[in-house]
Amino acid sequence: MELQPANPPLWVNTAQTLKEAIYAIGGEPRIAVDTESNSLFAYKEEVCLIQISIPETDFLFDPFELHDLSPLGTLFNNPKQEKIFHASEYDLICLKRDFHFDFANIFDTMIAARILGEPQVGLGSLLKNKFDIDLDKRYQRANWGIRPLSAAMLDYARLDTHYLFQLRDYLESKLKTQGLFDLAKEDFRLACKVEAHPPVTNHFGCWKVAGANHIDARQAAILQELCLYRDVQAQKANLPHFKVLSNQLLLELSTQKPHTLEELSVIPGCSEKIINRHGTGLLRALSKGENVAPVIRQRPVRPDDNFLKRLESLKAWRKIKAKELKVESDVVLPKEVMEHIASANPTRESELAKVMIENPLRFKKFGTFILEVLLPKENE
């Protein structure tokens, strides 16, 4: 069933419309938030649209024309106003990276759905399964950096926040009924702390290429030079890496090591267009890679056996508890928390409390069991 909102979305792209939108939004106890970015179309991804809904109105903020978005930052960091997201991590990373926003008091409908053990936690699936609402996802991979955006794209964008209120209320009710709301609030609080990713560098970028684990040190040096060449070309064209030269092609070149344009032409994926545009540059990178120092991958140090035993014991306990609660294992104990506990090896309740200081509810619910899991292993 397709339900269309009664009112059109409001386009916010001037200081005056921003002021009016903030006035309307600021007094609401809850707002729904989403973003659209252009990672598939630009060398450096950026937020291209910010959607904010209140129950009666959907606002679309254009960050390309709004030069001061600090009023939005004030809303996002207001602990008294709830911000509803679906799968907040990516949106928060992008908003922190581009605008240095901080966040407080969020409700993440995907996190809530995972805690409840929902088999499908995508927004489209949840809205369809719970409310028989169909979301049109045709613009999910669209280029949101273009202007003007079509009416259909604007309508698509606003729907990702428009229905979050009723989904949020449904999930909150289920969380409270099942005694899981406090656990969800702990994860919502932690979700606010996600950090913006550091700038990507190409230092030893060759190891990020799928399949590179099986190449030797000389091939890795060649692949590294090819990656550096591709990065320069991607910057010039303002395109993501994969739209300039594919990972698979770079891997083929590093293992086949062609020396001439003719040899390049028989490499799978090396089309005439690529040879005309990049042939000389690729051969130069290949030659440099054959003459620089080999690139030897630094393998991570293997953890000690006692740590691994503790980790396996925690994993086994977590799996049993998750099955009992009918949730995914990481809902019981997130992977990074479990690894931190195994590394710290607490032997007393006070020590475990310090390790789990960011997870007080999980400590309260599971702390005794965790210590029981750890201590016997150390006495064997």
Give the chain's domains with CATH numbers. 10-191 (3.30.420.10), 205-291 (1.10.150.80), 305-379 (1.10.150.80)
Residue 380 reports pLDDT greater than 60: no
- Beta strand pairing call for 106-108 and 57-61: unpaired
Q: What is the model's pLDDT at position 13? A: 97
Q: How far apart are CA 205 and CA 209, in angstroms?
A: 7
Which are the contacts of 18, defined by CB distance < 8 A and separation ≥ 6? 12, 61, 66, 69, 71
Q: What is the model's pLDDT at position 96? A: 97
Residue 204 reports pLDDT greater than 80: no
Angle value at C-alpha 348, between 342 and 353, nearest 5 degrees:
70
**In this prediction, what percent of the chain has a pLDDT beyond 70?**
96
Residue 12 reports pLDDT greater than 70: yes
Chain segment 160-190, per-residue pLDDT in tens? 999 999 999 999 999 999 999 999 999 999 9
Residue 243 reports pLDDT greater than 50: yes
Q: Would you call 7 exposed, middle or buried from its count of C-beta atoms within 10 A (0-12, 13-18, 19+)?
A: exposed
Q: What is the model's pLDDT at position 223? A: 97
Q: What is the pTM of this model?
A: 0.91
Q: What is the model's pLDDT at position 376? A: 65
Q: How far apart are CA 341 and CA 352, in angstroms?
A: 7
Q: What is the model's pLDDT at position 109? A: 98
Q: Chain-centre distance of CA 110, in angstroms?
A: 13
| Minimum mean pLDDT range among 80-94, 98-112, 190-204, 313-327 | 190-204
pLDDT tier at 205, thresholds 50, 70, 90 = confident
Q: What is the model's pLDDT at position 203? A: 54
Residue 197 reports pLDDT greater than 80: no
Q: What is the model's pLDDT at position 189? A: 97
- Secondary structure of residue 155 in the 3-state scheme: helix
Average pLDDT for 129-153: 93
Higher-pLDDT residue of 217 and 1 is 217
Residue 4 reports pLDDT greater than 70: yes
pLDDT tier at 45, thresholds 50, 70, 90 = very high
Residue 200 reports pLDDT greater than 60: no
Q: What is the model's pLDDT at position 379? A: 46
Average pLDDT for 134-142: 90
Average pLDDT for 103-107: 98
pLDDT tier at 257, thresholds 50, 70, 90 = very high
